[in-house]
């Protein structure tokens, strides 16, 4: 399964509203897990079996708790039995599809000229 999640504290005392220290604590837990993962500006993705992924999400959430009086967790899961390597595979298939569109558009422009 693939899980994309975002966890952040609220009710913190940080004057500028930044949550980077809390996010760093959560991402450190994810990276230490050894599971395939990727962090972007808005979400962290992690891939593995149900129990191991949700254990990491729980521990990442726990790591954020000291940074505020509450914690917000947003989670999206793609559950597909028998598939592995999807954290990269989905992106590779997307890029391939985009390249096919570009090639078709380029051929179409040549034919019309």
In a domain, 105, yes or no: no
In a domain, 110, yes or no: no
Q: How does pLDDT run across 94-104, given as a tens digit for each residue? A: 999 999 999 99
Closest listed residue to residue 24, CA positions, set 3, 4, 9: 9
In a domain, 27, yes or no: yes
Asked if 63 contacts 23 with a C-beta cutoff of 8 angstroms, the reply is no
Its domain, for residue 6, covers 2-82
Asked if 11 contacts 19 with a C-beta cutoff of 8 angstroms, the reply is no
In a domain, 88, yes or no: no
Q: How does pLDDT run across 16-69, given as a tens digit for each residue? A: 778 999 999 999 999 999 999 999 999 999 999 999 999 999 999 999 999 999
Closest listed residue to residue 5, CA positions, set 53, 74, 62: 74
Confidence band of 75 (pLDDT split at 50, 70, 90): very high
Q: State how far the Cα of 108 lies from the Cα of 74, in Å rounded to an integer.
A: 42
In a domain, 95, yes or no: no
In a domain, 96, yes or no: no
Domain count for the chain, please give it.
1
Tell whether pTM > 0.85: no
In a domain, 68, yes or no: yes
Give me the pLDDT at residue 18, please.
84
CATH code for the domain of 73: 3.30.70.930
In a domain, 106, yes or no: no
């Amino acid at each position: 399964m693939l899980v994309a999640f975002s966890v952040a504290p609220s009710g913190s005392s940080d004057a500028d509203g930044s949550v980077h220290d809390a996010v760093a604590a959560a991402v450190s837990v994810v990276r230490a897990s050894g599971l395939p993962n990727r962090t972007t500006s808005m979400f962290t993705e992690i891939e593995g079996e149900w129990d191991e992924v949700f254990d990491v999400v729980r521990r990442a959430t726990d790591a954020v708790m000291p940074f505020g009086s509450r914690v917000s967790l947003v989670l999206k899961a793609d559950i597909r039995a028998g598939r592995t390597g999807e954290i990269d595979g989905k992106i590779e298939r997307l890029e391939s599809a985009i390249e096919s569109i570009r090639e078709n558009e380029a051929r179409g422009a040549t034919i019309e000229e």
